Amino acid sequence: MTNERSVYTTAVHGGTRKDDVFGAINEPIYMTSNYRIPTDGTPVDWSGIHSNIYCRNRNPNQMVLQDKLCALTGAEDCAVFACGVAALTGVFIPFLNSGDHAIVSEVCYSATNLLFREYLPQKYHIEVTILDTTDTEAVRAAVRPNTKLIHVETPGNPTTGISDLPAIAAIAHEAGALLSVDATFAGPICMYPLNLGADLEIHSMTKYINGHGDSLGGCVLGKTELIDKIKEIAMVNFGGILSPFNAWLVARGLSTLPLRMAQHSKVALAVAEFLEQSPAVRFVWYPGLQSHPQHDRALKYMNGQYSGMISFDIKGSEEQHQKFLDALHLVTHAVSLGDIESLIVYYDKHSDKLPHYPEIYREGFFRFSVGLEDEKDIIADLQQAFEAAGII
């Protein structure tokens, strides 16, 4: 954090502009696709990102959200997109050329996985090495003379694996490559990847930043020089921009992010501790638990809050796992994460979402996004569902 104010204060006031026309204390929503262009003969820069021409170039609601994100993270600049995947391609397309090599976390979001396994190598001849980035030496060994990007997801989705960002940043920079980090699982509050050496920090704002499960969104944070390139190429020319209304919704969600993260983290730690001692459970991965494989990195690189994402594996048959899901009252079986309410996803034995972790399929693997409910109520819900399914 470069800002001296508390994150709570910055989340409320950062980026906010005053409405000079009517004095409204909330940011108006600028539902406009285009703007009046000066008629004084000034040349128009159709692809420009610094003047009001068209909503794909820029929009005040996007700008307020970008400023708020910069204020909260200390980032120099920010670009916002319609969703997290648009933000990710907004990094990969401008910074990778045919013949370049990229190193990518094997545990990463399914669209990122598919892009690097298939589309980018097959259609654009980009060389890709997919490996476990929690293993720093494996990253070092994979560097080639043409390595231009190292893309790390940390904490990894859904394993919560924590990569050593400062060490990987040093490897990337020595090789003349950029380090991009998808830190969606930590939100921009539990970890500051830019302060740990990342060049670009990416979030699916659909998750913690918006937090209310009512809008998609994505952002990239970093130095102006890199972000300008992303805006010029990915926003103006590839599209994928965030609508003014959704930018407004996400900015509203962002105002309470530090408050929500504190509660998500507190409740998740209590739930993880409950799961760890439950006879129904085979293993739990939560960066805040001492038993987490990279707990020492979580202590160093997270801010004492470990977010709301837990992965765990339970005993029983597939039929019992389905019964467990069906018996949950408070917790909903749904794919997204980072919402105010608790959401859980089941990766059954046939799921192809975790190709590198076959050992976890032995029984029942779940990704749990712990919401803002009280820990006692969540724990009671899990306990009664384990019992209803006959797992304990």
Ligand X SMILES: *Cc1c(COP(=O)(O)O)cnc(C)c1O
> Which two structure tokens, joined as six digits, stand for 11?
């989340």
Nearer to ligand X, 327 or 340 (CB): 340
Q: Which of 66, 89, 105, 184 binds ligand X (CB under 6 A)?
A: 184
Binding mask 106-125 for ligand X (x = CB under 6 A): ---x----------------
Site membership for ligand X, residue 84 (CB under 6 A): yes
Least distance between ligand X and beta carbon 185 (Å): 6
Sheet (strand 77-81) strand order: 77-81, 218-222, 200-204, 178-182, 147-153, 101-105, 127-131
Which residue in the set 10, 59, 204, 246 belongs to the binding site for ligand X (CB under 6 A)? 204
Report which of 112, 108, 109 is spatially closest to residue 120, judged by C-alpha positions. Answer: 112
From the list 208, 100, 90, 192, the residue with the least C-alpha distance to 157 is: 208
Closer residue to ligand X (CB): 9 or 351: 351
Q: Whose Cβ is closer to ligand X: residue 207's or residue 260's?
A: 207
CB of 204 to ligand X, least distance (A): 3
Q: Is 172 in the site for ligand X (CB under 6 A)?
A: no
Closest approach, Cβ 384 to ligand X, in A, equals 29
The residue among 385, 218, 369 whose CA lies nearest residue 316 is: 385
Nearer to ligand X by C-beta: 10 or 264? 264
User: How far apart are CB 362 and ligand X at their closest, in Å?
Assistant: 25
Tell me how far apart the alpha carbons of residues 92 and 4 are, in angstroms, rounded to a whole number: 33
Q: Give whichever of 162 and 281 is closer to ligand X, judged by the CB atom.
A: 162
For ligand X, the binding residue among 101, 148, 207, 260 (CB under 6 A) is 207
Report the nearest approach of ligand X to the CB of residue 202 (Å). Answer: 7
Cβ-proximal residue to ligand X, closest one? 84
DSSP 336: -
Q: Is 83 in the site for ligand X (CB under 6 A)?
A: yes
d(CA 103, CA 237): 26
> Of 131 and 380, which CB lies nearer to ligand X in the complex structure?
131
For the record, the structure tokens of 267 come out as: 């409740």
If one counts every other C-beta atom within 10 angstroms of the C-beta of residue 212, the result is 15
Give, for 332, the enclosing helix (H) or strand (E). Answer: strand 332-333
Q: How far apart are CA 338 and CA 49, in angstroms?
A: 31
Give the one residue of 130, 162, 200, 216 binding ligand X; rule: CB under 6 A. 216
Residues numbered 302 to 331 that lie near ligand X (CB under 6 A) are none
The residue (of 81 and 386) whose beta carbon lies closer to ligand X is 81
H helices of the chain, in order, are: 7-13, 60-73, 84-95, 110-114, 120-124, 136-142, 165-174, 224-230, 244-254, 257-277, 295-301, 318-327, 375-388
| Pairing of the two strands 218-222 and 200-204 | antiparallel
Q: By CB under 6 A, is residue 164 in contact with ligand X?
A: no
| 117/133 Cα distance (integer angstroms) | 16
Q: Nearer to ligand X by C-beta: 180 or 204?
A: 204
Q: Cβ of residue 131: shortest distance to ligand X, in angstroms?
A: 18
206 near ligand X (CB under 6 A) = yes
Minimum Å gap between C-beta 256 and ligand X is 19
The candidate with the shortest Cα–Cα distance to 302, out of 269, 274, 272, is 269
- Residue 85 CB, nearest approach to ligand X (Å): 4
Stretch that binds ligand X, among 199-207, 245-253, 256-264, 345-353 (CB under 6 A): 199-207
CA distance 67 to 378: 35
Q: Which residues sit at the interface with ligand X, rule CB under 6 A?
A: 83-85, 109, 153, 157, 182, 184-185, 204, 206-207, 216, 218
